[in-house]
Amino acid sequence: MFSVFRFRRTLVSLAVLTAFASGVHAEDVPLGPVQTWYPVAGSVDYERGNSRNVLVPIRADGAYRLNVTGKGVTVAVMDSGLDTAHREFTEPGKLLRGFNAIDGSSNVTDMVGHGTHVAGLVAAGRDGAGMFGVAFDAALLPIKVLADNGTGSTTYLDRGLRYAIGKASIVNMSLGAANVYNPAALQDAVRAGMLLVVAAGNDRAANPGWPARFAKEGWANGQIIAVGAVDANNRLAAFSNRAGDAAAWFLVAPGINIASTYRNNQYAIMNGTSMAAPIVSGAAALIQQRWPTLRADQIANILFLTATDLGEPGIDPIYGRGLVNVEKAMQPVGTVTTTTYNGRSINVLSGATQLSPATSRLWQLATSGQLRVIGFDDYRRDFNVDLGQTVVRPASLTLAQVFGTLDRRISVAEKVLANGATVAVAYDSGPRSAVGEEHPRLAAFSLLARNGAHEASVGVGGLATQYFGAGGLALDGNPGVGSLEALGNPYLSLLPNATHAAFAEETGGVKWKFGLLDAGVADDLGLYSVALPTSNSALALPRGRAGALEVSKSFGMSAVSVSLTKTSESNSYLGARSNGALTLATYTTT
């Protein structure tokens, strides 16, 4: 058995316990003056000060915004006891019946003040006065393992730890031992599924002290977190032990000028890794409340993976994993997936959806937050994911779209052949060279031939809208509606840049048209697309075929047209393209 020493309070300073293991021992570390008053007008505002020194650096608001406060989680504090009458712990259900591991009683009176200070950082209530802990709605199980003179032994530590099994899921140990000792009780706690958060120690050592250093052992299963202290600038505190050989299981948290509860219903400011450890314990309690099915090793690993990296990039022997980051810990780790109706798992955060005019209603749903799905990250944590973030706003109807290609640098040349056939060729002005020269590119062409009441039309590159729909109507005065893309058959816009072949016959003033369209031939031929480009290059180009039957009749300056169209699309749905969670179908027919 090893004797366990703890800090002692002088008239002007407090000494903070380091974390070692064995007979628990700690060198006295001088601290700032003991604060022994309540916050009143003109005095220190501890709640605001703690928010600045503790909660802001670890971004605890990232949990509070989600109404995550530690409620329903119990944290055991193995220390010098607790001032159970302190105003910050009087909320019903805040304190479980304590245990005195020294004499076996329930008397956990804190004569040192250290245990009360530590407990406050974990879960002091948020009542608008004094200060509040990181997990201010969590419950506390006070276990006294240090005597009234601040000394103890690993026998008391082991007894207290075994008492906590089955009563708390997280154990905070802001204490340490002089050297390595039998970790049987720690192993029992690990097997019981508990998360152990242990102060790294205040010896300026290259490695954490014991029992924090047990975190590196295989039997610890990643369920022991060693915690060092940093100052307000996120620099390792001069007194703090380093991550050393436990770097992969090492976090840091604020440990300088930390205000918290103190004995006799007072408050005090302390320094030390003893103050950093309960901040991490509180962060762990927040995660457990939000996802109560997580195992202890999963909670620890989430804290490791989401920590703010400090020092050398990655895991380093000074800061280990880095500064605990509650906000990031509340966000997904890894891939967020959901399961479709056919059992397929899809990534809900990848990909994008390019809407079409026919699916513009989805944009309204996206902007109003109505496109949501439950996704699960690598730890099977559930998240309400807004799929609206993956939706690309549909292009608005511009003058360039309404009046053909006037603003697109597209040149269209038409020529009437001797036999009466009309040939139309569209050129894009192309990219400019270094000296400003343009290099035109063939974009589209079409041929329209008439023979009495019969006519035929073929085209490549999306000129079908000038033949079908209002664009192909014959009106007196020839107002040129054929050049208005907006008047084309709207369903044919689902096949941008389509190639078409059609024939027509006029009987009794009624014209019957039938045609076939194929989107993709122009791309295969290497023609420059006249269609609006996608705003996401990762989206596959739509392919599809359509058959159109159209009946029209002209009445001088007016005309009427009725059409029946069957469209089969690939890589799109009603013209919308998606490679993410909103992918509606690979092949569709409308």
Tell me the catalytic residues.
Answer: 79, 114, 274
Q: For residue 563, give the nearest of 508, 497, 493 by alpha carbon.
A: 493
Q: For residue 248, give the nearest of 190, 315, 294 by alpha carbon.
A: 315
Specify the 3-state DSSP secondary structure of 563. strand
Give the separation between CA 411 and CA 425, rounded to whole angstroms: 8
Q: For residue 73, give the nearest of 172, 146, 156, 187 by alpha carbon.
A: 172
Tokens of 347: 């990534």
Specify the 3-state DSSP secondary structure of 118. helix
CB 168 within 8 A of CB 74: yes
The CA R_g of the chain, rounded to the nearest whole Å, is 36
Q: DSSP of 276-342, one letter per residue?
A: HHHHHHHHHHHHHHHSTT--HHHHHHHHHHHSBP-SSSSSBTTTBT-B--HHHHTS--S--EEE-TT
CB 503 within 8 A of CB 456: yes
CB 149 within 8 A of CB 15: no
Q: For residue 132, give the nearest of 237, 308, 28, 286 by alpha carbon.
A: 286
Burial category of 11 from C-beta neighbours within 10 Å (exposed 0-12, middle 13-18, buried 19 and up): exposed
Specify the 3-state DSSP secondary structure of 160. helix
Q: For residue 296, give the nearest of 225, 232, 248 by alpha carbon.
A: 225
CB 165 within 8 A of CB 189: yes
CB 323 within 8 A of CB 236: no
Residues 6+ apart with CB under 8 A from 341: none
CB 381 within 8 A of CB 332: yes
- For Cα atoms 158, 72, 191, give the angle at the middle one, nearest 5 degrees: 35
CB 566 within 8 A of CB 515: no
Residue 58's φ and ψ, nearest 5 degrees, are: -95, 0
Give the separation between CA 363 and CA 532, rounded to whole angstroms: 18
Q: DSSP of 396-418, one letter per residue?
A: P--HHHHTTTTTTTEEEEEEE-T
Q: For residue 493, give the nearest of 384, 576, 425 by alpha carbon.
A: 576
Residue 256's φ and ψ, nearest 5 degrees, are: -120, 130
Residues 6+ apart with CB under 8 A from 480: none
